[in-house]
Amino acid sequence: MKEELAPGRSGLKMKEFPIWEKGRKGRSGFSIPKQDVEKAPLDKGLQAGSLNLPDICELEVVRHYTRLSQWNFGVDTGMYPLGSCTMKYNPKTNEKQAVLPGFAGAHPLLEPGLCQGILQIMYELEEFLAEITGLDSVTLQPAAGAQGEYAGLRIIYSYHQKQNSPRKKLLIPDTAHGTNPASAAMCGYEPVMVKSGDKGFLSAQKVAGLMDEDTAGIMITNPNTLGLFEEDILEVAGAVHSKGGLVYCDGANMNAIMGIVDMAKTGVDVLHLNLHKTFSAPHGGGGPGSGPVCVKKDLEPFLPVPRIVKEKDGAYRLSEDLPDSIGKLHAFHGNFGVMVKAYCYILSMGHLLKKASQLAVLNANYLQKSLKGILHLPYDRPCMHECVFTDKIQEMFKVTTLDIAKRLIDYGFHPPTIYFPLVVHGAMMMEPTETETKENIDSFVHAVREIAREAEENPEILRAAPIRTRVRRLDEATAARHPVLTGDIVNK
C-alpha cells in the first residue's frame, strides 16, 4: 500500500487530505427535502454552470472533521496559558443553553412581543456587566473586542463633536495591544505613543505632558499587558480629564479584578469587555467573540442603536430613539449566541466572580514565583492575572523564546503569548487563569524547568522542537513569499 493512501501514518496521527480530494460526483451528505411544488422554469442566461465543490457522503465528512479536530489543542485538551487571552474553562452547560431552539432559531427581526426571552437576557446581561464594571450603561452590539474598541472610540469621537470640541490625537501606551492603535486610526485619530515607566506602568507626569486640548483622551489597558495594575491610574485619569479628554479602558484583562476594582472609580469613561475571555465563552479557534462596551452615564446618548428598553409593565422593547447615537455596528444585534453563554456564566457564578478573580491572581502570582530564576523576570513585582518572563537567561545558549514555546508543545502545554508586549525583548506572557488546578500549574512549572535544563545541556532539541506533533516547525517565510491561500479547485 502506498504511504499516501494509508489512513494512519503513525499510530493515531491520521493523515487527512484537503476535503475536495474526497468524494465523487453524485454522492451526497445532505437530506434534500421533498419537491412538493412544481419546478419553476429558469432563464439559462442567469444560471451557473456546475459548481466546483466536492460531493461527499455523510460519514466521510464526519471523519474528515473528526480527524482535523484531533490535530488541534483546546482548553479541553490541556492548560493553555496564553497571556491576555484568558483561556479559562468554557462550561458545557452554556453551550447547551445557547443552542436551545428558542434562541438558536430566533430571527433577528422578530417583533419584540415575539422575542421577550431574548430581550430579557440582553437587558439583564447589560445590567450585570454594568454592575461588574461599575459603569452605568452597556451596549452588547460589538461582535468582538476590536469592534468594541472601535465603538468606544467612536463614542468618544461623537462626544467631542457634540461638545464642539473635535480632537485629532489619542494617547496610547507602548504596551497596548495592536488593536488599540488600529482602532484609533479607523476612527480618524492619530495615535500618540506613551512610553511606560520603569516600573512597568504609566507615569501620570508623562501623560500630563502629552495631554492637550487636541487630544481626545487615552486608551489604557488595566491591568496592563505586563500583568500590572496601573498604580497611578487616578492621576493619569485626572490629567486626561483636566484637558477635556476621556479615558478609554481596554478591559481584556478584567478577569483580574471582578468584584475588586470599581472601574468608574478609577476614572474610566468607556470600557470594552471580551465575553470570550473574562466571561467564559469559547473562542472557537478565532471567533466568534463579543465585545460589549460599558460607559458612564453622560456617554449613554452616544451608544449604538437599537437600545433595549424595559417598560413599566415589565415588557422589553427595542428603541431607535437616540438622536446622538453613533448608529449601528452590526447588521442586527451583535453575537447573541455568545451573549447567552456569558449570561449563563454570570448566573452560575454570581458573587463568586470575585473569587474567580482572586484565584486567577493567586495562580498567576504562584506561577510567577515558581518560575522566577528559571526564566528571567523583567518586572519583579507582584502581578495581577498574568506574568511576563523573557529568554534572557537562555540567550547564552542561543535559545530563544520561540524555541522554549515550541518545546512546551512537546510537553503537552499550549505555549504562552510570545514576543508581546513589544516593550519586553523576547517576552513570554503567561496567564494561567483561575480554572487551572495547583497540580496543573506545578506540572507546567516542571515542564519549564526541564526545558531550561535542556537549553543548557542539549539546546539543539529546543531548536528542533516541536518533535511530537503531526507537523514540525512550518516554513512561514515561504508561505508569505509565495502565498497559497486556496486549494486547487479554485480557478486562479
Partner 1 sequence: MKKVDELNLPDDLQYTQSHEWARSEGEKLKVGLTDYAQDQMGEVVFVELPSPGESFRQKEVFSTVESVKAVAEVYMPVGGKIALVNESLRDDPEMVNRDPYGQGWLVEIEPDEPSQVQDMFDSAGYRKMVRGG
Partner 2 sequence: MRYLSHTPEDIKEMLKVAGRNSLEELFAKIPEDCLRKEDLVLPEPLTEWELDNHLEALARKNSDSASVNSFLGAGSYDHYRPAALSYLLQRSELTTAYTPYQPEMSQGTLQAMFEYQTLISALLGMEVSNASMYDGASALVEALFMALRISRKKNKVAVSRLIHPGYRDVIRTYFGPTPFEMIELPYLEDGSTDISALEGYEDLAAVAVQSPNFFGCLEDLAAFKETAAGKEALLIVSFTEPLAYGLFKNPGSQGADIVAGEGQSLGIPQSFGGPGLGVFCTHKKYIRKMPGRLVGRTTDKYGETGYVLTLATREQHIRREKATSNICSNQGLCATMAAMYLAFAGGSGLQELAALNRDKCEYLKREIEKAGFFIPFSRPGFNEFVVDFSPDFGQRYTGLLEAGIIPGLDLGTFYPELADHYLLSVTETKSRSDMDALVKEVSL
Judged by the rule CB under 8 A, the positions of this chain that interact with partner 1 are: 419, 476-477, 480-481
Nearer to partner 1, 261 or 402 (CB): 402
State the minimum distance, in angstroms, from the CB of residue 312 to partner 2: 19
C-alpha distances in Å from residue 438, one per residue of 364, 433, 452 = 11, 11, 21
d(CA 389, CA 374): 10
Interaction of residue 242 with partner 2, rule CB under 8 A: no
State the minimum distance, in angstroms, from the CB of residue 397 to partner 2: 21
State the minimum distance, in angstroms, from the CB of residue 323 to partner 2: 14
Decide if 183 contacts 134 (C-beta within 8 A): no
Residues touching partner 2, count (CB under 8 A) = 202
Task: Output the nine-digit C-alpha cell for 160.
Answer: 467631542
Taking residues 367 to 406 in sequence order and writing x for each that binds partner 2 by CB under 8 A, - otherwise, the string is: -xxx----------xx----------------------xx
Largest CA-CA distance found in the chain, in angstroms, rounded: 77
d(CA 353, CA 351): 5
Interaction of residue 485 with partner 2, rule CB under 8 A: yes
State the minimum distance, in angstroms, from the CB of residue 37 to partner 1: 54
Q: Which does 443 bind (CB under 5 to 8 A by kind): partner 2, partner 1, none?
A: none
On the 0-12 / 13-18 / 19+ scale of CB atoms within 10 A, 49 is exposed
Interaction of residue 425 with partner 2, rule CB under 8 A: no
Interaction of residue 282 with partner 2, rule CB under 8 A: yes
On the 0-12 / 13-18 / 19+ scale of CB atoms within 10 A, 286 is exposed
Phi, psi of 479 (to 5 degrees): -60, -35
Q: Which does 188 bind (CB under 5 to 8 A by kind): partner 1, partner 2, none?
A: partner 2
Interaction of residue 195 with partner 2, rule CB under 8 A: no
Nearer to partner 2, 418 or 452 (CB): 418
Q: Which of residues 149-168 bind partner 2 (CB under 8 A)?
A: 149-150, 154, 157-158
Q: Which of residues 299-338 bind partner 2 (CB under 8 A)?
A: 304, 326-338
Interaction of residue 444 with partner 2, rule CB under 8 A: no
Decide if 289 contacts 143 (C-beta within 8 A): yes
State the minimum distance, in angstroms, from the CB of residue 83 to partner 1: 17
End-to-end CA distance of the chain: 34
Task: Output the nine-digit C-alpha cell for 390.
Answer: 523573557
**Radius of gyration from C-alpha coordinates of the chain:** 25
State the minimum distance, in angstroms, from the CB of residue 209 to partner 2: 21
Decide if 402 contacts 425 (C-beta within 8 A): no
Decide if 70 contacts 9 (C-beta within 8 A): no
| In the block, residue with C-alpha cell 478573580 | 357
Q: Which of residues 112-141 bind partner 2 (CB under 8 A)?
A: 114-118, 120-121, 128, 131-132, 134
State the minimum distance, in angstroms, from the CB of residue 477 to partner 1: 4
Question: At how many degrees (to 10) do helices 438-457 and 401-410 cross?
Answer: 120
Nearer to partner 1, 95 or 395 (CB): 395
Interaction of residue 491 with partner 2, rule CB under 8 A: yes
